[in-house]
């Protein structure tokens, strides 16, 4: 019997205000569990980035409209230079085929810099630098991932802090990370907490003879 404590401790969130570390290379193309074709790069601000991240004008309302038009949800990832848990999210979570495919299919991902100076526009039309938007949304560490309602009508005239439906406060291990994406996609936040959603899913997998922590146990090959 797998206890609730095991489920929750197995993917405890980790986050940093400041950190350092290099990026680990992707897996070999011969391993189907990993997706080296989506190798993360480091941009001019020192942030790890994915080539499939949305490149727009950082207008949250427009990005939500684009996501909705494609049948996806808007997901905003806050990162910063030298963040080791951001690095791990790219090097491990986003490099796993199952997670990578699920996110690209169901989410439009916008990456923001917690200390950045680019202009970003909140859902209520107020424009400000990224770092000011981070303060407005009460983002205090990285990685932080915000999720928003599926339609523009639900965010009209409101700030991101007012309308977010879920927030991933820190790094989660792969199995918990993917489950959080499913929690948002299934609108589980309307019914219960993430912890209960997670416990229900993991118990169901376990009861069918599966391993809820399978993704966490995959070993990343050297490139």
Beta strands of the chain (E only): which ranges? 41-42, 48-49, 73-79, 107-113, 119-121, 127-129, 144-147, 166-169
Work out the end-to-end distance of the chain between its first and last CA atoms, rounded to an integer number of angstroms. 37
Cα separation of 74 and 220, whole Å? 29
Q: What is the pLDDT of residue 38?
A: 56
Residue 21 in this model has a pLDDT that exceeds 80: no
**Separation of alpha carbons 2 and 86, rounded Å:** 29
Banded model confidence at residue 190, pLDDT cuts 50, 70, 90: very high
Q: Is the pLDDT of residue 138 over 50?
A: yes
Q: Is the dihedral of CA 97, 42, 177, 209 positive or negative?
A: positive
Residues sharing a CB contact under 8 Å with residue 215, sequence separation 6 or more, in sequence order: 96, 98, 99, 173, 174, 175, 178
Is the pLDDT at 26 greater than 60, yes or no?
Answer: no
Least confident span in 15-19, 56-60, 151-155, 189-193: 15-19
Q: How far is CA 112 from the centre of its chain?
A: 12
Q: What's the pTM value of the predicted model, to 2 decimals?
A: 0.85
Looking at every residue in the chain, the average pLDDT score rounds to 88
User: Domain spanning 13-19+32-172+180-186 has what CATH number?
Assistant: 3.40.30.10
């Amino acid at each position: 019997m797998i206890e609730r404590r095991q489920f929750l401790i197995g993917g405890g969130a980790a986050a940093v205000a400041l950190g350092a570390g290099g990026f680990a290379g992707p897996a070999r193309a011969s391993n189907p569990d990993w997706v080296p074709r989506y190798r993360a790069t480091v941009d001019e601000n020192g942030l790890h980035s994915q080539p499939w991240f949305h490149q727009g004008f950082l207008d949250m309302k427009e990005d939500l409209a684009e996501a909705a038009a494609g049948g996806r949800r808007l997901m905003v990832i806050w990162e910063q230079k030298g963040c080791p848990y951001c690095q791990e999210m790219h090097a491990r979570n986003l490099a796993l085929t199952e997670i990578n495919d699920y996110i690209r299919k169901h989410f439009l991902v916008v990456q923001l810099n917690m200390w950045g100076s680019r202009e970003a526009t909140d859902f209520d039309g107020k424009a400000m630098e990224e770092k000011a938007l981070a303060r407005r949304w009460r983002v205090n560490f990285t990685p932080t991932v915000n999720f928003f309602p599926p339609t523009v009508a639900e965010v009209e005239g409101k700030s991101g802090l007012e309308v977010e439906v879920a927030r991933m406060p820190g790094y989660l291990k792969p199995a918990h990370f993917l489950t959080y994406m499913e929690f948002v996609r299934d609108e589980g936040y309307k019914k219960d907490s993430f912890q209960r959603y997670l416990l229900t899913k993991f118990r169901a997998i376990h009861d069918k003879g599966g391993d809820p922590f399978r993704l966490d146990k995959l070993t990343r090959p050297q490139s």
